[in-house]
């Protein structure tokens, strides 16, 4: 790269996304549709870029809200787009008229959709079933009334039925997931008994898609795994033990430039609050990234980046737009050199999982919270 797109940027690998999609499709089998989840700016990777890269492998794109659905269309998505999150009444008309599918679970939304939909512009509804996550979803006791309501709306199509698992990623014990699956199958039986035949039945997130074939039905919702990240260490361990581990390749690399280099003597305090003093004469590199960019303040004094393939630890507090690292391991560096914040450089790698462990969170949050205004490049 001759000229970087900014002082800090992301590189998103098209080949890694395609490979991950192929691995997941191989795992779930040809008849099962791949719903590519690109909500929350494609888990921080950049929704427009990921849609462009995934136009081949994805059968359906899934987003959180109408604004993301429109963004996916603008990026060239010709596949159906499904809204997974809450669709408020004020955006229902545009959602229906735009041909987007949407998730519903309460009578108010279904009644409003019935009034707004027409024969030529039907409301394409995915009914969410509450099976044990206690979030969005129809309770078993309310399902008969909801099904009767749907049948009374001539222009509302029950296109899909779904649920979401509460405890697949954080455990190697499948007991609760199988209980949810049992409840979901009971709901499917009730839907069939009511004479409704949804085209799509989907329950599996990335972890369920990898671990439990019985959760596949005819579509799976691939989120975190699509980006080459494991849902959790437990999922990875279980997948290996089951002989079902796909080869996932992280698609995201986060890079920045060295802004300044200076030698400072032992005892010098660094950054706000004087929280750290140099224990030795130290070559410092100032990097133009901070918590505004998504480089968490919790990485103060513990985070590491790669410069010339060598690990350089954050010294002192991470600031809003800057941080300082110990560059003694990379003598001779100059301003303008590339530092890798997440990704591989030389023979080493800083992973999203490593960053997450240092700030007591999960890899999902690390990548999703990267500033959406940061330039993103689609690379090979």
Distance separating alpha carbons of residues 302 and 297, to the nearest angstrom:
10
- 63-85: pLDDT as tens digits: 999 999 999 999 999 999 999 99
The answer to whether 93 is a known catalytic residue is no
Gyration radius of the chain's alpha carbons: 24
Sign of CA dihedral 39, 41, 47, 50: negative
Q: What percent of the chain has pLDDT over 90?
A: 99
Q: Say if residue 1's pLDDT is above 90.
A: no
Distance separating alpha carbons of residues 140 and 143, to the nearest angstrom:
5
Short-list 15, 86, 19, 10, CA closest to 42: 10
Mean pLDDT of all residues in 176-184: 97
Confidence of residue 30 (pLDDT cuts 50, 70, 90): confident
The pTM of the whole model exceeds 0.85? yes
Distance separating alpha carbons of residues 320 and 168, to the nearest angstrom:
36
Q: What is the pLDDT of residue 344?
A: 98
Catalytic site residue from 115, 182, 262, 272: 272
- 305-354: pLDDT as tens digits: 999 999 999 999 999 999 999 999 999 999 999 999 999 999 999 999 99
Distance separating alpha carbons of residues 126 and 107, to the nearest angstrom:
13
Residue 181 in tokens: 């699956």
Q: Is 164 helix (H, G, I), strand (E, B) or coil?
A: coil
Catalytic site residue from 39, 124, 128, 255: 39
Distance separating alpha carbons of residues 290 and 39, to the nearest angstrom:
24
Residue listed under structure tokens 């890079």: 255
- 122-159: pLDDT as tens digits: 999 999 999 999 999 999 999 999 999 999 999 999 99
Q: What is the pLDDT of residue 7?
A: 97
- 276-298: pLDDT as tens digits: 999 999 999 999 999 999 999 99
Mean pLDDT (the chain, rounded)? 97
Q: What is the pLDDT of residue 33?
A: 98
Q: What is the pLDDT of residue 2?
A: 79
Distance separating alpha carbons of residues 276 and 97, to the nearest angstrom:
58
Domains within the chain, CATH numbers bracketed: 31-242 (3.20.20.10), 252-379 (2.40.37.10)
Q: What is the pLDDT of residue 43?
A: 98
Q: What is the pLDDT of residue 248?
A: 98
Contact 253, 66 (CB under 8 A): no
The answer to whether 272 is a known catalytic residue is yes
Q: What is the pLDDT of residue 306?
A: 98
- 357-374: pLDDT as tens digits: 999 999 999 999 999 999
């Amino acid at each position: 790269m001759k000229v970087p797109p900014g002082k800090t940027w992301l590189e998103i690998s098209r080949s890694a996304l395609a490979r991950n999609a192929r691995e997941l499709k191989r795992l779930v089998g040809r008849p099962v549709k791949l719903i590519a989840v690109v909500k929350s700016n494609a888990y921080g990777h950049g929704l427009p870029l990921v849609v462009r890269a995934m136009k081949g492998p994805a059968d359906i794109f899934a987003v959180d809200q109408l604004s993301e659905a429109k963004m996916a269309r603008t990026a060239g998505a010709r596949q159906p787009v499904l809204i997974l999150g809450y669709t408020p009444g004020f955006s229902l008309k545009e959602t229906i008229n735009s041909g987007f599918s949407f998730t519903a679970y309460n009578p108010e939304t279904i009644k409003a959709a019935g009034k707004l939909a027409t024969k030529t512009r039907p409301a394409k509804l995915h009914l969410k079933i509450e099976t044990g996550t206690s979030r969005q979803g129809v309770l078993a006791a309310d399902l008969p009334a909801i099904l009767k309501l749907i049948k009374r709306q001539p222009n509302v199509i029950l296109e899909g039925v779904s649920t979401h698992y509460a405890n697949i990623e954080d455990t190697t014990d499948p007991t609760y997931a199988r209980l949810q699956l049992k409840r979901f199958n009971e709901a499917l039986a009730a839907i069939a008994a009511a004479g409704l035949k949804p085209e799509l039945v989907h329950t599996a997130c990335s972890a369920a898609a990898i671990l439990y074939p019985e959760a596949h039905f005819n579509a799976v919702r691939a989120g975190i795994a699509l980006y080459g990240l494991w849902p959790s260490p437990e999922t990875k361990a279980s997948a290996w033990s089951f002989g079902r581990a796909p080869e996932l390749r992280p698609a995201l690399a986060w890079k920045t430039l060295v802004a300044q280099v200076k030698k400072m003597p032992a005892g010098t305090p660094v950054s706000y609050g004087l929280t750290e003093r140099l224990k030795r004469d130290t070559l410092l590199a100032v990097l133009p990234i901070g918590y505004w960019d998504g480089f968490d303040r919790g990485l103060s004094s513990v985070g590491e980046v790669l410069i010339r393939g060598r690990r350089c630890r954050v010294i002192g507090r991470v600031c809003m737009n800057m941080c300082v690292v110990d560059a003694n391991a990379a003598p001779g560096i100059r301003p303008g050199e590339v530092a890798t914040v997440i990704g591989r450089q030389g023979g080493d790698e800083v992973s999203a999982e490593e960053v997450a462990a240092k700030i007591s969170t999960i890899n999902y949050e690390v990548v999703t919270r990267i500033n959406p205004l940061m330039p993103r490049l689609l690379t090979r």
